[in-house]
Chain A
Amino acid sequence: MKIELSVNGERKEADVWPGESLLFTLREKLGLPGSKNACEQGECGSCSVLLDEKLVCSCLVLTAQAQGHEIVTVEGIAEDDRLHRVQEAFVQTGAVQCGFCTPGLIVATVDLLAHRPEPSDDEIREALSGNLCRCTGYQKIFDAVRLAARA
């Protein structure tokens, strides 16, 4: 079936299987591999995108469910050819190791700061609790979020 989507402000069309996840469509059909596929079960958050400004796991959303809604992926976060301040902060603090969790964490942090420009440590923990990282031990991710909040 043909589905029309709005991704990062652009209209896109994709031919999808009715049971197909938004993550699969983004990565395999629309050339947007930024959202990562690690578990496909909602357990890691590496596929996080914004759907109508709400943070969701794109592996658990059917592409058909997203029709008529605004999708923002990590590819839509940067402003023109400059990194977003959240991306800049992740680079500067060394919050990226293997990088697999990074796109999801960037989107989750952008979402957090949109609602809480100066989050407390507990609010950061709460907001990022759906994003798992196997490498960093989270400390540098915290540093990145705090730095981005100050920037």
Chain B
Amino acid sequence: MDILRPDSLEAARAALKNGSVALAGGTELVPLLRDRIVEADTIVEIRHAVPRGIQGTRIGAGTTLGELEVDPQIPDALREACRLAASPQLRAMGTIGGNLLQATRCWYWRLKYPCWLHGGGRCFAHEGLHREHAVFANAPCASAHPSDVAAALLALGATVRTDRRELPIAELYRLPTGDDRRMTGLEPGELILELEVPMPAASTYLKAMDRKRFAFALVGVAAARSPEGTRLALAGMAPIPWLLEDESALDEATPLPGNAYKLEIARALIRRALVAVAP
């Protein structure tokens, strides 16, 4: 294995060939490399190749969650999502680009069970422990998307700019299928450069977790009101960040025996969030 530290976007693009992987803060990738869940012959450190910092409604993909959580100008939902994510140590290194592309925290997957998402035939969470798992779109993989930040950006209607195109954040994600089990739609070597986050009239992010800080969302609810209406998005409820039409759409969920409680929490948080963003 080799590590390259290109100092420009062009150099990074040239370095990101087959068999290489981009590294921003490393908080997600370093343990995955160590556990050989991600295999690469070259690590490309992209810190000096992607933008970092906040300019109006544009946020560089290399901006850390720690920088975002104290910025008074970004929408409340995004700032709160960053503040409630992970721990101070992780937010000091972890970038917003890396946060959007983090893999599932399903422990079967992290412990390398030969499960469906790893290319196998069954979902161990369905039969086993699934208290933290998804209640929407949970067959064939019931993993719950862990990103608070992605739910906030989905409610806010953010746009992702890569080195090749612009796409609505909803299109960054895809539900895995039998012949393509990836959960994001980026091409190999494609780099997220920036996020365009429109300013809402009001927004909020509420998060239920097992302890008051430093835990993944059991349920995360983002709400953003703009002239077109109020948009709701959920973290921890589906394999990808989940847009919700309204509270009644919770009735379409398909909870597993051990995680229907998430729907009660979601109902309560949605009501609170709607009050918080009401005119």
Partner-B contacts on A (CB < 8 A): 1, 17-19, 21, 40-42, 45, 48, 51, 54-57, 59-62, 64-65, 108, 125-127, 129-131
Contact = CB atoms under 8 A, between A and B. Distances in A.
A130 to B, nearest CB: 3
Contacts of B23: 62, 65
B129 interface: no
B30 A62 contact: yes
Given A55-B88, A126-B213, A130-B88, A18 B1 contact: yes
Interface stretch (B73-81, B89-97, B115-123, B136-144): B89-97
Given A55-B89, A127-B88, A129-B88, A60 B2 contact: no
B27 A57 contact: yes
B45 interface: yes
Contacts of A64: 3, 5, 43, 45
Nearest to B36: A19
Which secondary structure dominates chain A's binding surface?
Answer: mixed
Contact of A62 (B2, B3, B212): B3
A129 B1 contact: no
B87 A42 contact: yes
Which secondary structure dominates chain B's binding surface?
Answer: mixed
Contacts of B27: 42, 57, 60
B19 interface: no
A59 B3 CA distance: 17
B255 to A, nearest CB: 27
Given A19-B43, A40-B31, A56-B93, A45 B87 contact: yes
B88 A126 contact: yes
B214 interface: yes
A42 B31 contact: yes
Nearest to B214: A129
A56 B213 CA distance: 17
B89 A57 contact: yes
Contacts of A17: 1
A72 B196 CA distance: 36
